[in-house]
Amino acid sequence: MLSHDIIIVGGGLAGLRAAVGLCEKYNVALLSKVHPIRSHSIAAQGGINASLANHPDAKDDSWEKHTFDTVKGSDYLADQHAVEIMCRQAPLIVYEMEHWGCPFSRFPDGSIAQRPFGGAGYPRTCYSADITGHVLLNTLYERAVSKGVKVYSEWYVIALVTDNGQCHGVIAFDLINGAIVPMKSKVTVFATGGYGRVYQYSTNALINTGSGIGIAYMAGVPVKDMEFVQFHPTGLIGTNILMTEACRGEGGYLINNKNERFMERYAPKMMELAPRDIVSRSIQTEIDEGRGFEHPLGRYIKLDIRHLGAQKILEKLPGIRNICIDFLGIDPIKEPIPIMPCQHYSMGGIDTNEKAATEVKGFYAAGECACVSVHGANRLGGNSLLDTIVFGKLSAIAIDEFLQENNITPDEKPINNKLVHMEDTIKKIVQNKGERPFSIHADLSKNMSTNVGIFRKKDELETAIENILRIKARYKDVRVSSSDPHMNYELLNAIELGYMIEVAHTIAIGAYLREESRGSHSRRDFPTRDDEKWLKHTIARPGADGNPEISFKDVTITRYQPMERKY
């Protein structure tokens, strides 16, 4: 059995920032599905928000205005005290990353460059061309290496060990050696990212299964607001690769088949820079009403950046140009980009407070797998990178305080019991005679995209839940083609699929019960926001019958009273 003071699961920005903040004082292990610089944080393109007021049009910007924009963007479901903390921290975080060597783009005077992003009253998104996540991730990884953080690459956590309200460690799958390894710790941190691959059409990497959320949920840790699924307006057709919001932040247009900039109908003031939920629904409406374009890869709308000129595209959007050329043979300097809305981000996740702590003693979560909640019903672009680093940092501070104040001794007995349980689970999968995991996963993701998508209705959500229950039954007999655990990705996929099904179930149940439209959750049969009944968070726990057990808790409101959301 391996032992560390602190186990951090996830090698992206949240996990690395937590590790950097703790490794000088404690014995820290960081477990990552992939090499840390291949974590999904690297895919974030457009930027990180902070009220630096460097842009000529943002001289009056402040953390208070950033807070208001975030709360309004959340459709008033965000916990406002947590949003205030994040927005106060934002300038400190950006300057910290700069001082650690992050190569931000610059204005001519040498200050960090900022550009407009959707739902923001000021241009406050700091960036590095269109590879912002890439440079932030490499900066933090270099910092972690310099401080000697112990990294276990290609180690997959397959179970969380909790007992009597305390976390004792994890069970990990060492893929390279084919070993199931028990690991004990005083504190465990999940920074495992989102659940994009629960959906058929997603901008997320294949590693984004959401299994971290599912593992915590199945260990009895409550999850929050799972029904709030963000769809990004501009995914490249065919591959669904992200076409960053920076395309529109730099001045790109959305065009339908009548050559109209149709956002004038939906958000006349902010146009293409309205919040993502509004732009995604607007694009889908144009497509559904016959004003889209047809392509063998699907129906789409055009994202036109040609008028920006070759120099600006090459300077500020070089990655976007390369992706378009490599995957569709289209040069956006010369042709519009065919795009469609795709699942992009999970506002919901493991229920935590503003210190990243859960109700389970010694278990913390940060980044996209966690729900603080700073994003509420809809996240603003540029706030995800901020969320990961801020709460990665704050989790490290909180964990240090926790360990200073508590004498924690992890118990090996529940770890060994969980190890036996997981070994039995794997043995059963290897001996089963049913379906392979890929076919079950294909039906699960199609079900979610079809029935729990951008627009939702009661009958479709009922169908989604019925399908998930059938998929759960099929999963009980899931099989793999090889019993050898060494580098057995199919076995790993089979284990993760069980957690993905649970995540999907919480999303669908939450969406079915929430009889209103708020942010990313758009019910055709309940088209208006209902603050009297639904200004509250959805909490899900596994029930005795195996289905999600739902309760609710109040949203924290400090200074911003809910009002109609107009752009």
- Say how many Å lie between the first and final Cα of the chain, rounded: 55
- Distance from C-alpha of 395 to C-alpha of 342, rounded to nearest angstrom: 31
DSSP one-letter code for 106 = B
Strand order in the sheet with 48-49: 48-49, 125-126, 114-115
Sign, CA dihedral 195-199-202-206, equals positive
Query: SS3 for 64?
Result: helix
Structure tokens at 105: 């783009």
524 part of the active site: no
Which of these, 135, 140, 179, 177, lies nearest to 8 by C-alpha position? 140
- Distance from C-alpha of 350 to C-alpha of 357, rounded to nearest angstrom: 10
Which of these, 223, 286, 277, lies nearest to 505 by C-alpha position? 223
- Distance from C-alpha of 251 to C-alpha of 315, rounded to nearest angstrom: 14
Q: Go through 153-168 and write b for each residue having 16 or more CB atoms within 10 A of its CB, e for each that does not.
A: ebbbbbbbbbbeebbb
Classify 353 in phi/psi space as left (phi over 0), alpha (psi -120 to 50) or beta: beta
Query: Looking at 124, 276, 281, 514, which residue is catalytic?
Result: 276
- Distance from C-alpha of 298 to C-alpha of 292, rounded to nearest angstrom: 10
Query: SS3 for 546?
Result: coil
Q: What is the 3-state secondary structure (H, E, C) of 259-301?
A: CCCCHHHHCCCCHHHCCHHHHHHHHHHHHHCCCCECCCCCCEE
Q: Give the position of tokens 């469609």.
A: 340
Decide if 275 contacts 73 (C-beta within 8 A): yes
- Distance from C-alpha of 410 to C-alpha of 164, rounded to nearest angstrom: 12
Q: What is the 3-state secondary structure (H, E, C) of 290-320?
A: CCCECCCCCCEEEEECHHHCHHHHHHHCHHH
Structure tokens at 33: 């599905």
Decide if 102 contacts 108 (C-beta within 8 A): no
Q: Give the position of tokens 């004498």.
A: 407
Structure tokens at 87: 């927005």
Task: Tell me whether the omega of the peptide bond preceding residue 522 falls within 30 degrees of 0, making it cis.
Answer: no
Q: Which residues 6+ apart lie within 8 Å of 166 measured at CB?
A: 360, 361, 362, 411
Please list the alpha-helical segments (H only) found in 364-436. Answer: 383-405, 412-431
Decide if 79 contacts 347 (C-beta within 8 A): no
Q: Give the position of tokens 């993905």.
A: 500
328 backbone dihedrals φ, ψ, rounded to 5°: -130, -5
Q: Which residues does the annotation mark as catalytic?
A: 276
